[in-house]
Amino acid sequence: MRKTNQIVKEDVHRIVKDLGRLVENFRDKKILITGFKGFLGSNFTAFFHLLNQEILNNSLTVYCLDNSIVDLEDLTSPYTEGFTVVNGSGLNDLPVKDFNYIIHCAGIASPTFYRKYPLETISVNSIGYWEMLNNLDVSSLEGFLYFSTSEIYGDPDSKNIPTKEEYRGNVSCTGPRACYDESKRLGETISIAFHQEKGLPIKIVRPFNVYGPFMRLNDRRVIPDFVKFALEENVINILSDGTPTRAFCYSSDAINGFIRALLLGKPARPYNIGNGDSEISMLELANIISMNLGGTEIKYRESSEKNYLTDNPQRRCPVIGRAKTELNFKPAIHPSDGIQRVIEWYKETYFPNK
Ligand SMILES: NC(=O)c1ccc[n+]([C@@H]2O[C@H](COP(=O)([O-])OP(=O)(O)OC[C@H]3O[C@@H](n4cnc5c(N)ncnc54)[C@H](O)[C@@H]3O)[C@@H](O)[C@H]2O)c1
């Protein structure tokens, strides 16, 4: 079995190779990664750590910020060596405010956690975000990456799936997902207003169901959930009727798309980042995981969380023509390959003796 750090290294090398000379934009620069302990933040720290070591001669200065609100175990440490790591929520917690690039991953992304912390979820995407932009020293800012979400489309009608950026969404402002969906929508509006009024180079991405190494096993999103059931209880419990679909995008494809949006995207113009060719149902997902683990039994069960399926979209799939044309984004990893990689990562990280 490959070691987990080998999987992460291979992923970073694939991204670096595909980005080519674009990575030179980061030479001698200062970067802030917020939410660095989370799933995407951890992938970014791994990317910049290895890029710095192997290509940029450690010329990149990296600051990492997180308030640890999502109480998950810390897996990031091997990739933050040499970076300035700060426990906090805003710019006032940082020793400097003048960055060349900011990758703003802070947020509460897992439905289980944003239902548990609705006020904090709204705050980080709206008031906290506004304050951050308002207090930035923008004189040196070359790019700011804002993480919106595919959830801003809500539950689209069938003629708007696969979904283009122009679709305005079908979102409940009172349902259990509203704290996330509506505040992310406001976050996009804030991004556009700060660009229009103050000229901030804010790039907006709408990620569609990204998965991969560093998504914690107890994160409660579906891929770690199925793997956890399978490895701990020898059964995969599907908590719906198995028919809802998602287009899953492996993390190295997604990070590649995010970096492209940061460097090449037009400000205040949202880009869907996902893999439109990889839409599968929850049952198909369970089958792929089961096959990879030698035929784990699959069962249907109700969630213990009352609102687990309320406003849960039946289908979620992006049109990525804009990112393909304007960013030269080409997701390449099929779920069967990506899921095999992530299962190896989970086994090695959490169950080294299985
Ligand atoms: N992973 C995906 O598939 C996906 C899809 C759509 C959108 N996004 C968005 O991308 C961003 C990163 O996603 P993720 O999957 O890494 O999320 P995550 O929940 O794994 O990590 C987010 C991190 O932000 C930190 N955080 C939360 N509030 C904070 C605050 N006020 N100050 C500082 N740190 C704070 C948390 O402690 C956590 O470590 C989020 O904004 C999320 O909404 C992710």
Give the atom of ligand 1 at the shortest distance from the alpha carbon of 89: 32
Which is higher by pLDDT, 218 or 84?
84
pLDDT tens digits for range 110-159: 888 898 899 999 999 999 999 999 999 999 999 999 999 999 999 999 99
318 band by pLDDT with thresholds 50, 70 and 90: very high
Six-digit token string for 29: 């620069």
pLDDT tens digits for range 85-114: 999 998 999 999 999 999 999 999 888 889
Active site residue 180: yes
Give the atom of ligand 1 at the shortest distance from the alpha carbon of 113: 19
Give the atom of ligand 1 at the shortest distance from the alpha carbon of 42: 16
- The three-state (H, E, C) secondary structure of the chain, written as one string: CCCHHHHHHHHHHHHHHHHHHHHHHHCCCEEEEECCCCHHHHHHHHHHHHHHHHCCCCCCEEEEEECCCCCCCCCCHHHCCCCEEEECCCHHHCCCCCCCEEEECCCCCCHHHHHHCHHHHHHHHCHHHHHHHHHCCCCCCCEEEEECCHHHHECCCHHHCCECCCCCCECCCCCCCHHHHHHHHHHHHHHHHHHHHHCCCEEEEEECCEECCCCCCCCCCHHHHHHHHHHHHCEEEECCCCCCEEECEEHHHHHHHHHHHHHHCCCCCEEEECCHHHEEEHHHHHHHHHHHCCCCEEEECCCCCCCCCCCCCCCCCECCHHHHHHHCCCCCCCHHHHHHHHHHHHHHHHCCCC
The answer on pLDDT for 3 being more than 80 is no
Give the atom of ligand 1 at the shortest distance from the alpha carbon of 209: 3
Distance 316 CA to ligand 1 centre (A): 20
Packing angle between helix 335-350 and helix 4-19, nearest 10 degrees? 140
Distance 214 CA to ligand 1 centre (A): 12
The answer on pLDDT for 74 being more than 90 is no
Q: Which of 63, 153, 180, 350 is catalytic?
A: 180
The answer on pLDDT for 1 being more than 60 is no
Distance 35 CA to ligand 1 centre (A): 6
Ligand 1 atom 7: residue of nearest CA: 149
Distance 87 CA to ligand 1 centre (A): 15
* Backbone phi, psi, residue 203, to 5°: -105, 140
In CATH terms, the superfamily for domain 4-214+249-278+315-333 is NAD(P)-binding Rossmann-like Domain (3.40.50.720)
Percentage above 70 pLDDT, the chain: 95
Query: Taking the domains of the chain in order of start, what are their residue ranges?
Result: 4-214+249-278+315-333
pLDDT tens digits for range 262-289: 999 999 999 999 999 999 999 999 999 9
Ligand 1, pocket-test mutation among 36, 121, 148, 149, most atoms within 8 A of CB = 149
What pLDDT sits at residue 240?
A: 87
Ligand 1 atom 1: residue of nearest CA: 210
Output the ligand 1 site: residues, CB below 6 A: 34-35, 37-41, 65-70, 89, 105-110, 124, 128, 147, 149, 207, 209-210
Ligand 1 atom 12: residue of nearest CA: 105
Distance 246 CA to ligand 1 centre (A): 19
The answer on pLDDT for 335 being more than 60 is yes
